[in-house]
Amino acid sequence: MEVIVLPTSADVARRAADVVLAGLPAASGTGPHDAERHDPVLGLATGSSPLGLYAELARAVEAGRLDLTRARGFALDEYVGLPAGHPESYREVLLREVCRPLRLAPDRLFVPDGSGTTERELASAAVEYERGIAAAGGVDVQILGIGANGHLGFNEPGSSLASRTRVKRLSDRTRRDNARFFGGDVDAVPTHCVTQGLGTVLDARRLVLVASGQGKAAAVAAAVEGPLSASCPGSVIQWHAEAFVVLDEAAAARLRNRDYYDASAAGLSESPTP
Ligand code: F6R
């Protein structure tokens, strides 16, 4: 796990975009996971945290450094029960924040289907979603935020570390936190979602978690330095072989091992000559 702490959220967005770009299969086939060439597959988080990162990726598209015309994007999660086209459904959010600015065709965006009205319908859509990810060859880079309660995707505290895409109930804390997207009305926030499981997230070849602001400091400390535990679903990143955690100063404020992260981020350049 690499923990990178930078002064501002704008710095976080820039560096995280570089880490995402470096994890995607390069057109020339020289990316880190290019033993078998395939079209890029991006795992997409919603919420506030990745917006700056998406804006940076859009700049890379404009500059010709990133081409997502053959890519696929898989959302982390979707609310259950919002009407099709609701502006806060994650499909609509991703069409707005990712597909248009990054020139990813809407038919290459995949979002868990939260339109089912029975547990059975939702469960079979979740299984289909897992099949879709597998058929695309798996996710190259999964972009992640973290909830103030440590949730990852909508895997709330108590979620199995091996879980797959399924229906979950949102915690009261998450519904309160997300009420800001629904005009401040907690009751308008759906009670359930379909979310990739923690096991699904762990299957991605690279994880890039971004967090900014002091409201995330406790969750970040628990995820990065706490025990690997279902009580903090974000801690599952410790189990991944290629996880990057990119933070601003405020989000990093409760990390105890900060000196080590900063020294590691400096690379070999500051090591004494043997
Ligand atoms: C989003 C998601 C959530 C958010 C988390 C943080 O698809 O699955 O885990 O990443 O709730 O949200 P923000 O970034 O709005 O603080």
Considering only the C-alpha atoms of the chain, give the largest distance between any 2 of them, rounded to a whole number of Å.
Answer: 65
Give the position, in ligand 1's atom list, of the atom nearest the Cα of 49: 14
Ligand 1 within 6 A of CB of 114: no
Residue 11: other Cβ atoms inside 10 A:
18
Residue 265 CA to ligand 1 centre (angstroms): 25
Considering the domain boundaries, does residue 63 fall inside one?
yes
Which of 53, 154, 156 has the most ligand 1 atoms within 8 A of CB, as the residue to mutate?
A: 154
Which of 12, 42, 49 has the most ligand 1 atoms within 8 A of CB, as the residue to mutate?
A: 49
Considering the domain boundaries, does residue 191 fall inside one?
yes
Ligand 1 within 6 A of CB of 77: yes
Separation between Cα atoms, residue 36 and residue 34, nearest integer Å: 5
Considering the domain boundaries, does residue 164 fall inside one?
yes
Starting at the earlier edge strand, list the strands of the sheet with 141-144.
2-6, 243-248, 206-211, 141-144, 41-44, 72-75, 109-110
Only one residue has tokens 């700049």, namely: 59
Separation between Cα atoms, residue 227 and residue 22, nearest integer Å: 29
Considering the domain boundaries, does residue 226 fall inside one?
yes
What is the per-residue pLDDT across 202-213, written as a single tens digit (0 to 9) for each? Answer: 999 999 999 999
Total number of residues shown for the chain:
274
Residue 157 CA to ligand 1 centre (angstroms): 14
Of all helices (H) and strands (E), which one includes residue 261?
Answer: helix 258-265
Statement: residue 262 has pLDDT above 90: yes
Considering the domain boundaries, does residue 75 fall inside one?
yes
Task: Collapse the DSSP code of 64 into the 3-class scheme (helix H, G, I; strand E, B; otherwise coil) and give the result.
Answer: coil
Going by their DSSP bridges, the two strands 192-195 and 243-248 should be labelled as unpaired
Q: Work out how many domains the chain is built from and give that number.
A: 1
Considering the domain boundaries, does residue 260 fall inside one?
no
What is the per-residue pLDDT across 55-71, written as a single tens digit (0 to 9) for each? Answer: 999 999 999 999 999 99
Residue 200: other Cβ atoms inside 10 A:
27
Higher pLDDT, 37 or 5: 5
Give the pLDDT score at 271: 62
Residue 51 CA to ligand 1 centre (angstroms): 11
Residue 60 CA to ligand 1 centre (angstroms): 23
* Beta strand spans in 29-102 (E): 41-44, 72-75, 77-79
Statement: residue 31 has pLDDT above 90: no
Q: 188: domain CATH number?
A: 3.40.50.1360
Which of 44, 146, 173 has the most ligand 1 atoms within 8 A of CB, as the residue to mutate?
A: 146
Give the position, in ligand 1's atom list, of the atom nearest the Cα of 47: 15
Give the pLDDT score at 266: 87
Statement: residue 274 has pLDDT above 60: no
Residue whose CA lies nearest to ligand 1 atom number 12:
47
Q: Which has the closest alpha carbon to 139: 204, 85, 74?
A: 204
Statement: residue 29 has pLDDT above 60: no
Please report which confidence band the pLDDT of residue 268 belongs to, taking 50, 70 and 90 as the band edges: confident
Range of the domain at 210: 2-26+36-239
Which of 151, 173, 237 has the most ligand 1 atoms within 8 A of CB, as the residue to mutate?
A: 151
List C-alpha distances in Å: 21 to 57, 202, 247: 8, 19, 18
List of residues 6+ apart from 219 with CB closer than 8 A: 146, 147, 148, 149, 150, 211, 232, 234
Ligand 1 within 6 A of CB of 151: yes
Task: Collapse the DSSP code of 152 into the 3-class scheme (helix H, G, I; strand E, B; otherwise coil) and give the result.
Answer: strand
Considering the domain boundaries, does residue 210 fall inside one?
yes
Ligand 1 within 6 A of CB of 48: yes
Considering the domain boundaries, does residue 127 fall inside one?
yes
Q: Which has the closest alpha carbon to 244: 224, 219, 267, 218?
A: 224
